[in-house]
Structure 1
Amino acid sequence: MTTAKGRATGLRTQLWATGHLLRSRMIGPMRPDRYVGMARILRRYGPHATTGFALAANRRPDGIGLIDERGSLTWQEIQERADALAVGLATLADGPPTSVAILCRNHRGFVDAFLAAGRLGVPALLLNTGFSGPQLADVLEREHATLIVYDEEFAGLVADARARIEGLTEVLSWVDDETATREQPPAELLIDAHRGERPPPTRPGRVVLLTSGTTGTPKGATRSGGGPEELAAMLERIPWHGGETVVVAAPTFHAWGFGQLVIGATMACTIVLRRRFDPEATLAMADEHRATGIAMVPVMLERIMELPAEVLDRYALDSVRFVTCSGSRMRGEAVVAFMDRFGDKVYNSYNATEAGQISVAAPADLRHASDTAGRPVTGTTLRLVDDDGNDVPVGEVGRILVRGASEFDGYTAGDTKASLDGFMVSGDVGRMDADGRLYVVGRDDDMIVSGGENVYPVEVERAIGELSDVREVVVVGVDDEKYGQRLAAYVVPARTEAVSPDDVRAHVKSRLAGYKVPRDVVLLDELPRNASGKVVVRDLPGVGS
């Protein structure tokens, strides 16, 4: 039974959320019929990823919703394309597919496919564009995919998967020559053939996001939306405004980039996409379209700051109010350099595919400590505990537990995240400072036990990263017969022969305890990364099986 105290708390939460939605102009003056349409959409779709696109079309049907390398689309055109593609997909086999797998880069075809899956009421499986052939086949097989929409550049990968998966229906998304004859139908032809048609109404299917899978096969994850409170918690920290323009450079198949795409639609912002990330092109798009926000992953910000000064000088980013990053750890020096040049506009978000947004570091937080993940967002509670489940003191490292506004529905394989006293075990470890800022030290299973001593790689990486001649570094544990594990540092020099393994070891020894000095220092031209910018540990020399 709901108590009076509970009702009062719920009312305060609703008022708080409404205030932030109003201030961000997500809710604003509209014709009465628009409000009626909004209510109808919310009843039909509920808190789903497709809801924001429908709301934007109701609110700004003739407003520009998306800009990519093929031009622009209004919000109404986006809805009409989704309807037409859904009808087209349902005609390709014996009735609608049981799921729609999507292997697309950042462009309109990705949006078409995931909205069409929603129209058909079937799961949309967002696939990593950096998959190898065996990984793609493994995921398609595990998730029982019956139809895949993919960019033509991935035809070879799909052909490999086809050999293992019988009856897989294929549709091409981005093609360079739409007039060429192909065995697989291009999505654009299906849209043209069924323009003006609509599929039967149904509740939208779930969106299946994949974990990064940097150490193993990615897992499929689904999460129940937290409603307006979850959106308001983000708007409280990051200055999105409705109806403006946002560049989404982060890959849209990844939880972070997909979330930014959905938020942009929900805010009826014009979303600017480009298939492949290019550091200078991202700056150019922001200036050309007078964007007020840019969403990217940390390595993208780092690549921008590696551009020559004369290139950076061409762009002002004076219209930009926020650059929001997430997905992996940010290099502090790159964050500071970006803010020194373009202003205090960087917001670092700590998220998890399973938990959504956990904390945000605002520019003031990053000025205080460039490696902080910031403070928990409203509605999210954190605990840091030891191996026995006891809270650790301020400043000490513990496992990060999360309880937020949205619920993790579990992995598609049937398993779920561990929990403790109603909190989800994030799998990360970190510490809190006296001001309530969170610092993520690494993954729980990243800890290296070498000769009986516990070492978290991030502190060694930070020490090595202090060297001006080091561009990038990752530290991992490798098997060792004598010590159980030993530290191995993989270093990308800033320039050829700029730093030696002995230089690296000597610097770490001058900063940290002797047992934290890496015995192996391997110089690489680049670190193996997936499409979302995370280092793929299994692909490092001497690590992968």
Structure 2
Amino acid sequence: MSIPLLLEMAVSTDPERIAIASDDVRVTVADIDRMSARGADRIAATGAGHVVYVGTGGVLLPLLIFASARAGLAFTPLNYRLGESALRELIGRLPDPVVIADYEYVGVVEGAGIQTIDSADFLASLETPPLEQPLPEFDGTVAGVAVDPDTVAVVLFTSGTTSRPKAVELTHGNLTNYVMGTVDFASADPDDAVLICVPPYHIAGVGAALTNLFAGRRMVYLRQFEPVAWVRLVGEERITTATVVPTMLDRIVAVIEAEEATLPTLRNLAYGGAKVPLPLVRRTLELLPHVGLVNAYGLTETSSTITILTPQDHRDALGADEPAIARRLGSVGRPVPGVELQIRDESGDVVPVGETGELFIRGPQVSGKYSDIGSVLDADGWFPTKDVASFDTDGYLYIGGRSDDTIIRGGENISPAEVEDVLVEHPQVRSVAVIGVDDVEWGQAMTAVVVPRAGTDPDPEELRAFVRGRLRGSRTPDRVVFRDDLPTTPTGKLLRRVLVAELRPVRAE
């Protein structure tokens, strides 16, 4: 199955339904169909081999996804926050790209591809001739050739938090299997509306455009996240569903507390992209008791979500007296349909329940292929995530961070997440990152980088004693330092390498 056929299914059900609201623009399902067909014609006329977008998204993101697919080309949205040299380097890794860019980025990327088009001009060209003019119905073919599910539809660059960004290839089959495996077609209520504020270059942005159109939910775009605007839009647009990353959730909760907002229309709030501190999850549940929280875990290479902690899971865990159930609030839930998970030790053997190892994933939505590397799937189709994980007896998955982040202190492997989960529960700690820095005696010393709660002045020794009282002594940080904020990517992923560089010992010449 191909991406354009998802759109055709939506058109066949309710073509005049408002599908997208972005700023003052309102677009129906039929408009997306007609405009993406014209977009495909314009893209094809450039002779390009790839479509690139640099900008903040909104209505353009779904249109470009479908227009590129109809033109038979792969689509890549790039991180508009990158500097000129980084953007040009990424564009240069793609074959003969046409670059569509928002006005403020046109000058930055001019000449990087075979042609650069202002996004406003591109959008205007899709609106003329009049939208009422009929177009031939798309039949799942491009230039008379059926779209192969194995054809690459979207290429996304990883954030590159530890190394050179990799170009992840997602096929039509990967993405449509994800959509159809996690969403029921036309299942949304007529008044359902989703607020989308994740960046267009993130897999969550691509997934949101496809799944919400397929479900029949009106998509409201907030192109530049700002928490006061987010809370306002929930009220004005009568938002029922939203997805945020941890840094967004923290700021939204602060606004809700300050304004005593209740968000009465909101029914579901999904969070993911990085680990969310449990005190923040509990506070969100307290402030919004009528809202179902969803923790969604996934990777770019898996076409987005692979496990979900449901609203009922959250409620059960929050009110549980039994420790095993209460602990689930810190899990990422259980697998979505069609996805298989394994946890393996360093020898490649599957570990028993409760033991920690590396998470492997298999399923039709899993790509595991990179433009510059090729496939990294093993002989049986399993993708190595590099995430440290474990299962409990009921199949709930717990993520312990990246295997590369493991601290080796005195020959003992220590997961930063284990220490972070304890420290963040201290009443004076807002957020924390635990890292290993080079040490002559221990190989690596453990440093806790703490962001204090507003109005507090925590004592480092008190924080160390807090950890020592809950974990064995070897898990106690050797040092505690303080910072106003932790460095993160725009999608909330912690940039540990920045902290390691800041705290690396200065060597004598």
Q: Shared topology, TM-score over 0.5?
A: yes
Matches within 5 A, 1:144-159: 144-155=95-106, 157-158=108-109
Please list, as runs of the form range in 1=range in 2, the aligned pairs for 1:312-327 lying within 5 A after superposition: 313-317=260-264, 319-327=265-273
2:21 is aligned, of 56, 67, 81, to 67
**2:286 maps to what in 1?**
340
Written as runs of structure 1 = structure 2, the 5 A alignment for 1:159-170 is: 162=111, 165=112, 168-170=114-116
Cα distance per residue 1:405-464 (max 9 Å; x no partner): 324161011333243644222211111112221111111222111121111111111122
Which residue identity lines up with residue 291 of structure 1 in the other structure? I
Q: Contact conserved, 1:302 with 1:331, CA < 8 A, in 2? A: no
TM, length-normalised to structure 1: 0.80
* Correspondence 1:438-457 to 2 at 5 A: 438-457=397-416
- Label 1:422 to 1:60 Cα distance change in 2 as closer, same or farther (>3 A): same
User: Partner residue of 1:12?
Assistant: none
Tell me the residue number matched to 1:380.
339
Write the distance in 1 (CA, Å) between the matches of 2:54 and 2:424: 35
Letter in 2 for 1:121: G
Of the candidates 44, 50, 53, which is equivalent to residue 7 of structure 2? 53
The answer (yes or no) to whether the contact 1:59–1:268 under 8 Å persists in 2 is no
SS at match of 2:228: helix
Deviations 1:160-188 (A, max 9, x none): xx5xx4x54212226xxxxxxxxxxx323
Change in 2 beyond 3 A, CA 1:60/1:336 = same
- Is the CA contact 2:294–2:308 (under 8 Å) kept in the aligned structure 1? yes
| 2:490 alignment counterpart | 531
Shift of 1:275: 0.8
1:56-455 matches, within 5 Å, as 56-91=10-45, 95-155=46-106, 157-158=108-109, 162=111, 165=112, 168-173=114-119, 186-192=121-127, 201-202=142-143, 206-224=153-171, 225=173, 230-231=178-179, 233-235=181-183, 241=188, 243=190, 244-307=192-255, 309-311=257-259, 313-317=260-264, 319-343=265-289, 344-356=291-303, 357-366=305-314, 367=317, 368=326, 369-408=328-367, 410-419=369-378, 421-455=380-414
Alignment deviations for residues 350-369 of structure 1 (CA, whole Å, 9 cap, x no partner) = 11211243211112323233
Measured after TM superposition, the shift of residue 207 of structure 1 is: 0.9
In structure 2, C-alpha distance between the alignment counterparts of 1:64 and 1:377, rounded to whole Å: 29
Show the counterpart of 1:42.
none
Runs (5+) with no aligned partner, structure 1: 1-45, 175-185
Measure the CA separation in 2 of the matches of 1:482 and 1:194. Answer: 73
Indicate if the aligned counterparts of 1:429 and 1:443 stay in contact, CA closer than 8 A.
yes
8 Å Cα contact 2:292/2:312 also seen in 1: no
Match of 1:462 in 2: 421
Alpha carbons of 1:360 and 1:192: their partners in 2 closer, same or farther (altered >3 Å)?
A: closer
Q: Secondary structure at the match of 2:375?
A: coil
Does the CA-based 8 Å contact 1:399-1:429 persist in structure 2? yes
**Normalised by the size of structure 2, how large is the TM-score?**
0.85
Tell me what 1:39 maps to. Answer: none
Q: Kindly tell me: are residues 421 and 79 of structure 1, through their superposed partners in 2, closer, same or farther at Cα, counting changes over 3 Å?
A: closer
Q: In 2, are the aligned partners of 1:358 and 1:404 still within 8 Å (CA)?
A: no
Q: Residue 450 of structure 2: SS of its match in structure 1? A: strand
Q: C-alpha separation between the residues in 2 aligned to 1:336 and 1:518?
A: 26
Query: Greater CA deviation, 126-135 or 393-402?
Result: 126-135
Q: Give, as a single letter, the amino acid of the residue that structure 2 aligns with 1:396.
A: E
Query: Structure 2: 5+ residue runs without aligned partners?
Result: 318-325, 505-509
Q: Is the 8 A contact 2:186 2:214 kept in 1?
A: no
Counterparts in 2 of 1:215 and 1:189: CA distance versus 1, 3 Å:
same
Query: How far is 1:308 from its partner?
Result: 5.4
Q: Which moved more, 1:497-506 or 1:453-462?
A: 497-506
Partner in structure 2 of residue 515 of structure 1: 474
Q: Distance in 2 between matches of 1:226 and 1:508?
A: 43
Contact 1:103 1:127 in 2 (8 A): yes
- The Cα shift of 1:533 comes to 1.6
